[in-house]
Chain A
Amino acid sequence: MTIGELARKIESEKTGLSISELNEKMERRLKVMRASVARGLQGINSKSGLIGENALKMLQAKAEGVLIGNEPLNSAIAYALAVSEVNAAMGRIVAAPTAGSCGILPGVLLSVAETLNTNDSLIIEALFSAGATGEIIARSSTLAGAAAGCQAECGAAAAMAASAATELAKGTPNQSANALAFAFKGLLGLVCDPVAGLVEVPCVKRNAICVGVALAAANMALAGIESVIPPDEVIETMALIGREMPASLKETALGGLAATPTGKRLAAQLMYMK
C-alpha cells in the first residue's frame, strides 16, 4: 500500500466520507491547481505591481531553448512561478500547505506527472500522500511562517512535494520518507522576510527555487540514498530552529530581505501609494 492509499483510507475512517467522495474532493483541488498554472503562464502581475510575468518568461525561454537541462525541472519552475504569481494577484489557488507556498506542490507534481505520463488518479493519490506528510509536519512541528519562518511553509511544501514525487515515480514509502528528509535538510533555517509584508518578494521566486530542492531530494531517494538523520528528527529540528529564530525573521517584515535598502525603499513607496 502506498502512503497516499493509506492516508486516504485513514481520512475516510475519520470523516465517514467514501473513497470516491474523497477522490472527488481532491480532484477539485487538482483542477484548481491546473487552472492556476494555466492562468499564471499567460502572464499575470501582482496586486502591488512588485512582481509579475515571470512564469511567462520561463515558458518563452523554454520554447527558445536557452535553458540548461531538461524536464521536469524547467516546467516545474514555470508552474511554481505561475501559481505563486496568481496567488500574489489575488487569483484562485489551493493552499498547499499555505497560500505563500502554494506553487511548489503543483509545480513538482504536475511536471513530474507529465514527464512520467501519469494518469490523474495517481496524481490524486500523490496529493493524499503529500497531505499526509503535511499533517505529520503540522502535528510534530508547525506550518506557520510566523512561528518558524519560511522553512515551515516553503520548506514543508518542498518536503511534501519531494515525498509525493518519489511515490509518483514508484518509489517505496521508505524512499518517500528519505526524500522528505533531504528536502527539509536543504531548507532548514530558511527565514520568512517578505518585503513590505507582502506575499510577493521573495516568496514567488522562493517557491520556484524550492521545486529544484524537491526534485533533487526525490531523485536522491529514488537512487537509494538514505538520510543519516531520520526524517522524524529532521521534522522536529525544524520546530526547534524556528523557536530559536528571532522574531524579525518570522513574517514580521523587519529583517532579512525586507530590511535591505531596496526592500525598505519599496515598502516606503508602497506605503506612499496607499
Chain B
Amino acid sequence: MSIFDIIGPIMIGPSSSHTAGAVRIGLAARAIIGGDLSGAVITLHGSFAETYHGHGTDTALVAGLLGMKPDDERIPDALQIAWEKGLKIQFQTGDLGDTHPNSVQLELISPDGTKRCIKGASIGGGDIIITGIDQFQVDFTGKNHALIISYRDQPGMIAKITALLATENVNIAAMRVSRTAKHFEALAVIELDQPVPEKVITRIEQAPDVGTLIVLPQTLLGEDV
C-alpha cells in the first residue's frame, strides 16, 4: 500500500469502486484487445448490476474502453462519444457465478474482427483485478508492467520465456499460467518490475509455438496508480 492509494486517486466521481475502478477495467480490456473497438457487450454482475446507472459505472466502463484515464473530465460524456464514433455497445445484467460483487464481463470486438472476452472486478478504492481473458482464468492488477503471452502448452516454454527476460535483467514480480488442456493453448500473465526491452519482446514473439504477445505498461491504469 502507498500513501497515494489513501490520498488518491485523482478521479472523476462519484465512487472509487463504481466509477474509477470501472474506468480502469475498461482501460485494461482496451489494452488486451489492442486498442480501438467496434463493439462491446457488457454484462454487469452483483452490486455493479444493482447500481451501475446511478454511479455512472456504465459510462465509466465505456470511458475506459475509449482510452480515457480515471481523471479524464470527458468521462461523463463517454456514452455520447462512443455513439458518435459508431461503437455498438450493449449493456445487460447477469450472473457471472461465484465472483466478486463488483464484477463485469466485456465481450469485445475490434475493427479487424478480433474477439476477446475479458472479466474483471473492482475491489475497492479504485483498485481492480482482471480475472479472465477468453477461456483462461487470470489474476492481475494492471499496476505493474506485464506481458500476456499465449502459446502451445509443452515442457520448457516458461523456461525459454523467463530466460529471455533474465538476459536483460527484467525481474518477475508475479506469474500465472493456465491452459485449456494438456498440449493445447495456454496463457501466461507475467508481471514485471521493469519494462521489457523491445528486442526481448521480439525474441519472445519469434520463439516457436508462441502465439500472441500483449505488452501492458505500468501506466496502463493512469499515472497515479
Contact = CB atoms under 8 A, between A and B. Distances in A.
Interface string B34-75: 000000000000010011011110010000000000010101
B159 interface: no
A40 B75 CA distance: 18
Contacts of B11: 92-95, 99
A167 to B, nearest CB: 14
A29 B13 contact: no
B13 A96 contact: no
B10 A32 contact: yes
B10 A92 contact: yes
Q: What secondary structure prevails in chain A residues at the interface with B? A: helix
Given A28-B10, A29-B10, A139-B1, A99 B16 contact: yes
Interface in A229-260: 253
Contact of A97 (B2, B47, B50, B125): B125
A28 B11 CA distance: 12
Nearest to A198: B54
Contacts of A144: 124-125
A199 B15 contact: yes
A95 B12 contact: no
Contacts of A97: 6-7, 125
B4 interface: yes
B13 A26 contact: no
Contacts, number: 126
A95 B3 CA distance: 12
What's the interface size class on A, roughly?
35 or more
A48 B54 contact: yes
Contacts of B73: 91-92
Contact of A99 (B2, B4, B13): B13
B40 to A, nearest CB: 21
B219 to A, nearest CB: 14
* Chain B CB within 10 A, most for which of A11, A86, A90, A144: A90
A127 B7 contact: yes
A134 interface: yes
Nearest to B126: A95
Contacts of A7: 3
B6 A199 contact: no
A138 B54 contact: no
B106 to A, nearest CB: 21
B3 A47 contact: no
B204 interface: no
Nearest to B72: A92
Nearest to A100: B15
Contacts of B15: 99-100, 199
A128 interface: yes
* Chain B CB within 10 A, most for which of A14, A29, A97, A99: A99
B95 interface: no
B54 A270 contact: yes
Interface of A: 7-8, 11, 14-15, 25-26, 28-29, 32, 47-48, 86-100, 102, 105, 127-128, 130-132, 134-135, 138-139, 143-144, 146, 160, 196-200, 253, 270, 274
10 contacts: A14-B2, A88-B13, A91-B12, A92-B73, A95-B8, A95-B11, A97-B6, A99-B19, A143-B6, A197-B51
Given A11-B2, A14-B2, 16 more contacts: A29-B10, A47-B76, A90-B75, A92-B11, A95-B8, A95-B11, A97-B6, A97-B7, A98-B16, A99-B13, A100-B14, A127-B7, A134-B3, A143-B6, A144-B125, A198-B55
